[in-house]
Structure 1
Amino acid sequence: MAPVWVNYVENGLINPLDRGVAYGDGVFATMRTASADMLAEVLFLAEHIARVQQSCERLGIEWHASNQLLQQLNQLAQQYPQHCIKLLLTRGVGGRGYQAPLSANVTEVLSVHPIPEHYLDWQQTGISLASSPIFLGRQPLLAGIKHLNRLEQVLIKSQPLSSHHQDWLVFDCDGNVIESSIANIFIVKNDQVFTPAITHAGVSGVMREVMIDSLLGHDIAVMATQLTIGDIQTADHIFITNSLFGIIDVAAIDDFQFSRWTQTSRFRHVLSVNLSS
């Protein structure tokens, strides 16, 4: 069983009337710990906390990261290097109806998990994607937020993948490319980088934002825009990003093949997101 703390109580319990349980009323972040030179840390911790803060503000949940939370995150990084830490926040207990209480008594849940072993193989060899038959709904008020309502992703992952594919490429209901089921996606064409604009559907991951900033910082043009399957099919290179595996090349989508981008390994090194065995 994964180590879990609920409001700093190890193996604590969540109230059955918690709005996160009842309505998915909350947000979460998935962070990676890493160690270098005998020091351990949560990678991109400030960016994760900032995104959680912004997501809470968009949902009208009053929350700020306490010193106690930050201390525990740093302690867990020391105790569990090369692991995943999940931070989950709910609005707390709020009765039976949809109407949120005037003030939130936020529930904070921390859990620690191993990083999937196959992520190292994916970094080394790349992966193949298949187009998902299940589409994301369009809701600009929730687009970008890593909220607790993940039923679309549950349905997507419930579909069986062939042995030749490792994940799904996901579209919205208007046919726009949004993401993979677990990561943000980037395409490279004519030395320019493009990524879907997360304005009506999908999650804007911390690693996506870090990658965009790093590309721009290295004078590589990048644009967040509407992308279609036609853009995918004519791309020179494709890669995906998330906070646990960093950056991974996409070798194929459906029947279309792509060469690995020569810059992928460089940016993994620049951002210190290489996995090790």
Structure 2
Amino acid sequence: MQYYLFDQHLERMPEAMLPLNIRGVRFGEGCFETMCFVNGKIRLGALHLKRLQHSVSELEIQLPVLFTIQWLQQLLTQSVDLYQNWRIRVTIYHGGIDFNINPSPAYLSIEIQPYHPPKKEIIVSALYPVQPALYAYGAHKSLNYQLYTYAIQYAARKEVDDVLLVNHQQQIIESSIANVFVVKKGELLTPPLITGCIAGVMRENIIMNFGADEQMITISGLDECEEIFLSNALGIRSVKEWNGKKLAQTKADEIRNSL
């Protein structure tokens, strides 16, 4: 199911159409949030809204006044089967038609699909290099997804589940679809936002509630880790092994069990 919000009126696809002349369509200006609607509530809803508000502020997009997590939950409650869990993608498009500097109204689309928890264990054995210019604005979930599309295709060619993005200093940034966490000498670590990684809501949740520290993680440092796992709003995936070394998933299981 897919819906679009125009002038605070929700319309279901295929009747709704995005105007082709707005900046969000013509130039890929906008952002998105992928959320889990579980047991009638949006998981980590406050963190999703916090990130979304920061992104639209940076992109000079004006959200509709009615847009709150409570409004979205109410809308979903009226639209879906509450006995099933759902994956929700909210996409915000810049609604301006010129390049003025005043905040422009947003166009919203809301896509609804069944939620399937991610695999518990995955294989990650490849690295994908990223040029500095490409990760300068990485903290936002921009509509420009080209970098991650390339990384996903690279993983498929390598016949692995995911790849780790690395910068020119051989430091880990994130994976193609998730933030990276490692356990090294008993300490839980994740790359800082300065590397260009997405400011993930699950990442922030783990930092706040499980005491993860933000530190640079090098490629060579991965060999010293007891555990590597990936996180996004949909869940936690443990890396099965790295460079032939079998990895634990104790901390990942602890976090999974808390959700």
**What TM-score results when the alignment is normalised by the length of structure 2?**
0.87
How far apart, in 2, do the equivalents of 1:248 and 1:18 lie? Answer: 37
Identify unmatched segments of 5+ residues in structure 2: none
Q: Which has the higher mean CA deviation after the structures are superposed, 80-89 or 128-137? A: 128-137
- Equivalent residues of 1:83, 1:115 under 8 A apart: yes
**TM-superposed deviation, 1:262:** 1.8
Report the identity percentage. Answer: 22
**TM-superposed deviation, 1:139:** 6.4
- Tell me which residue corresponds to 2:76: 76
Structure 1 residue 85 corresponds to structure 2 residue 88? yes
- Across the aligned residues of Structure 1 and Structure 2, the Cα RMSD in angstroms comes to 2.3
Identify unmatched segments of 5+ residues in structure 1: 217-221, 273-277
The 3 A distance-change label for structure 1 pair 109 and 116 is same
How far apart, in 2, do the equivalents of 1:171 and 1:72 lie? Answer: 36
- Tell me which residue corresponds to 1:262: 250
- Equivalent residues of 2:128, 2:163 under 8 A apart: no
Q: Which aligned pairs between 1:172-191 and structure 2 lie closer than 5 A? A: 172-191=167-186
Q: Which aligned pairs between 1:50-129 and structure 2 lie closer than 5 A? A: 50-63=50-63, 66-67=66-67, 70-76=70-76, 79-80=80-81, 81-95=84-98, 99-100=99-100, 102-116=102-116, 119=118, 122-123=119-120, 126-129=121-124
Matched AA of 1:264: A
The 3 A distance-change label for structure 1 pair 20 and 258 is farther
- Equivalent residues of 1:238, 1:258 under 8 A apart: no
Secondary structure of the 1:144 match is: coil
**What TM-score results when the alignment is normalised by the length of structure 1?**
0.82
Q: Which aligned pairs between 1:1-277 and structure 2 lie closer than 5 A? A: 2-7=1-6, 8-11=10-13, 12-35=16-39, 40-63=40-63, 66-67=66-67, 70-76=70-76, 79-80=80-81, 81-95=84-98, 99-100=99-100, 102-116=102-116, 119=118, 122-123=119-120, 126-138=121-133, 142-159=137-154, 160-163=156-159, 165-216=160-211, 222-244=212-234, 246-253=235-242, 255-270=243-258, 272=259
**TM-superposed deviation, 1:161:** 3.5
